[in-house]
Amino acid sequence: MTAGSPQMVILHLDSLILSDQPNQYSIGIRFNSKSIPSSDQTVVWVAGADVPVSDKSYFQLTQEGELVLFDSSKGIPAWTSNTGHLSVVSAALHNNGNLVLLDGKRNIVWQSFNTPSDTLLPGQSLSVRQTLRAASKNSVSSYYSLYMNASGQLQLRWESHMIYWTTESPYSSNLSAFLAFNGALQLRDQLLKPVWSVFGEDHNDFVKYRFLKLDIDGNLRLYSWIETSQSWRSVWQAVENQCKVFATCGQRGICVLTASGSSDCRCPFEIKPESNSRCLVPYQRECESGSDMLTYDHTFLYGIYPPDDSVILTSLQQCQRLCLKDPLCTVATFTNDGTTQCRMKKAEYVNGYSDPSISAISFVKKCSGPLAVNPDPIKSSSNHSLPKQSAKLCVSCLIGVASGTFFILIILQLGIGCCIYRRKTTNRKKATLANTWPHSKGLVVLSFNEIKNLTENFKHQIGPKMFKGMLPNNQRVAVKDLNTSIEGRKFRSTVSKMGSIHHKNLVKLEGYCCELNHRFLVYEYAMNGSVEKYVDDPKLCRRLTWRKRVEICSSVGKAIYYLHTGCREFVSHGNLKCENVVLDENLEAKGN
């Protein structure tokens, strides 16, 4: 492909990579050898890290020297190489799988080897702070990544901070990971000298095709093409026990190794679990009849959504009691390996692994069964007796009045007790939320009851389906009711990506609620509301001087530019209007 020619050179998607779903096409690079059947021509690079486009889209090298993946259905670029200022005149796909852009002197100014997706090819490096990310085939796999940190360690991570595998290399800066042609994964210093290596089973054997891939199950594997069997074979994997990969079972339960050595996901919390059902902890956070703890030996459990654990050094019995008393705790695991660590979780979705060799003991909270109540109803009857029986009737009346008064007092006391209990429970929840929110590193997951408490049962409406709320730490927030039935996994995946976007001219997403059919987003609060009300109100309109209007337009432009070019994945706002631009206390504009 060449830039600057009179005719634009366009490479349609179906000439480079196929899609397995309608209107879910991608552009990328795959093996194209006659010795490899078309069904096994594995994709090794995807533009924009799995950005999907429609079937009428195209890949183009523009006259400005930019590679652009244009989505025809939306009429916008879905991905770009951002090389319009680098004097690019041509593009070439090398035999080693590297797509390069060249200037007039044939110098490489951009290459796909520097922007990997989920695969490394022989001769390709992964530099400091570069990432391989698993293909987004489900809500769990999109969180897996292989990361090269500044200390010279390769790390397999779920989200950004759950590390479940790391290289044991000596700490050293300026290292890079490198896949050698002989089948070795190496960490190399600045002099290209290996300081750490792992080898595949066929190390140094003559193998024509190899690649290193972060699979959708979160494991890092080295593959070789076996000519005799005409298939790809894994010759090395980072995590030998697949059950040790964080969230390997997603929302489907506990990972158990089978007799054949493979992993199986089971849900111990349901009597008759369905193969595709979610595995939820049998605790509703508000149990009418109290709660009990189920004990699981040789089992290590951890929470996902959110994945954070509270670690306390205590005894086995105290670990169980602490979780039972904490209304937010759903699961606790005592490591029982001499470290006396009690890991308490507050997630409804629980993952983990179970094996007879594991010394850990886990406790799962469940609601107790309802108490058997068989009250005797008070039966009142009218007694039309003769006058001579009036004395007996009066005594009976007194007894009835006394009994009724007694029962009324009991009911009043029970009512007062319930009110006090509810108030204490509410205050305890508010205190817990107040302690949780300021220290949270990511999005805060809220229940529907907590959303109602924050908004005082949706008392203060500040816009269409938008309500003002107040956190226990006196931080004001805006709560948006999405009023949608979007599937939970897709909602959490989308919200997680939104939560990772930070810009001073974008409203910060603080938390969310995804419970049953409720879908809420919790944003930072903008004191002066939307720009729309300033445009419609003659008095308020005077506050927006021409200078301030220019600043607002500039701020909105910066936010949109950041979404389109500054994020790792292309983000299209798609709904830009005055209603979705809000002003803070200083009349600084923020996109919403």
| Residue matched to tokens 């089948």 | 183
Burial tier of 467 (Cβ tally within 10 Å: 0-12, 13-18, 19+): buried
> For 165-174, 360-369, 579-588, which range has the lowest pLDDT when averaged over its residues?
165-174
pLDDT at 484 > cutoff 70: yes
Q: 123: exposed, middle or buried (C-beta count within 10 Å: 0-12, 13-18, 19+)?
A: middle
pLDDT, average across residues 528-538:
78
pLDDT of residue 223: 96
The residue among 385 and 544 whose pLDDT is bigger is 544
**Per-residue pLDDT reduced to its tens digit, 273-286:** 444 556 777 776 67
CB 454 within 8 A of CB 480: no
Whole-angstrom Cα distance, residue 535 to residue 446?
35
Asked if residues 235 and 183 have their Cβ atoms less than 8 Å apart, the reply is yes
Q: Work out the percent of the chain whose per-residue pLDDT is above 70.
A: 78
With bands split at pLDDT 50, 70 and 90, how would you rate the model's confidence at 374?
very low
User: How far apart are alpha carbons 543 and 477 in whole angstroms?
Assistant: 24
Contacts of 546 (CB under 8 A, 6+ apart): none
Secondary structure of 197-209 in HEC code, one letter for each residue: EEECCCCCCCCCC
Mean pLDDT computed over 323-345: 86
pLDDT at 524: 87
Query: How does pLDDT run across 425-480, given as a tens digit for each residue?
Result: 555 555 554 454 444 446 788 888 888 888 988 888 887 788 999 877 778 899 99
Q: Which pLDDT does position 114 carry in this prediction? A: 92
pLDDT, tens digit, 9 for 90 and up, residues 206-223? 889 999 999 988 999 999
Closest alpha carbon to 16 in 52, 46, 36, 40? 46
pLDDT at 442: 62
Tell me what pLDDT residue 482 has: 85
What does the DSSP 8-state code read for residue 41? -
Beta bridge partners of 110: 101
Selection from 182-191, 264-273, 343-352, 476-485 with the highest mean pLDDT: 182-191
User: Can you read off the two tokens belonging to residue 225?
Assistant: 């093409």
CB 154 within 8 A of CB 146: yes
Q: What is the pLDDT of residue 108?
A: 94
- Do 277 and 271 meet the contact criterion of CB atoms below 8 Å apart? no
Closest by CA to 323, choosing from 297, 351, 285, is 285
Question: CA–CA separation, 116 vs 99, rounded Å?
Answer: 11
Is the separation of the CB atoms in 184 and 207 below 8 Å?
no
pLDDT at 552 over 80: yes
Helix (H, G, I), strand (E, B) or coil at 108: strand
CA dist., res. 37 & res. 430, Å (int): 60
Q: Is the pLDDT of residue 130 over 60?
A: yes
The Cα 80–Cα 67 span in angstroms is: 6
Give the residue, 577 or 426, on which the prediction is more confident: 577
| Burial of 125 per CB tally in 10 Å (0-12, 13-18, 19+) | middle
Question: pLDDT at residue 328 above 80?
Answer: yes
Position 417 confidence tier, pLDDT thresholds 50, 70, 90: low
Percent of the chain clearing pLDDT 90 (strictly above): 19
Residue recorded with tokens 């026990």: 241
Give residue 590's pLDDT.
85
The pLDDT value given to residue 308: 65
Stretch 76-100: mean pLDDT: 91
At 571, list the tokens.
């983000």
- Residues with Cβ within 8 Å of 387's Cβ and at least 6 positions away in sequence, in order, are none
Give the integer Cα–Cα distance in Å for 323 and 310: 11
Q: Are strands 341-345 and 310-313 parallel, antiparallel or unpaired?
A: antiparallel
Determine the pLDDT at residue 141.
Answer: 61
Amino acid code (one letter) for 185: L
Mean pLDDT of the chain: 78
Q: Which is more confidently placed, 309 or 574?
A: 309
pLDDT (average), residues 509-528:
86
Q: Is the pLDDT of residue 512 over 60?
A: yes
CB 572 within 8 A of CB 563: yes
Which amino acid belongs to residue 38?
S
Domains of the chain, earliest start first: 1-115 (2.90.10.10), 125-240 (2.90.10.10), 254-367 (3.50.4), 444-591 (1.10.510.10)
Q: What is the pLDDT of residue 125?
A: 94
Q: Of 220, 246, 257, give the one whose Cα is nearest residue 235.
A: 220
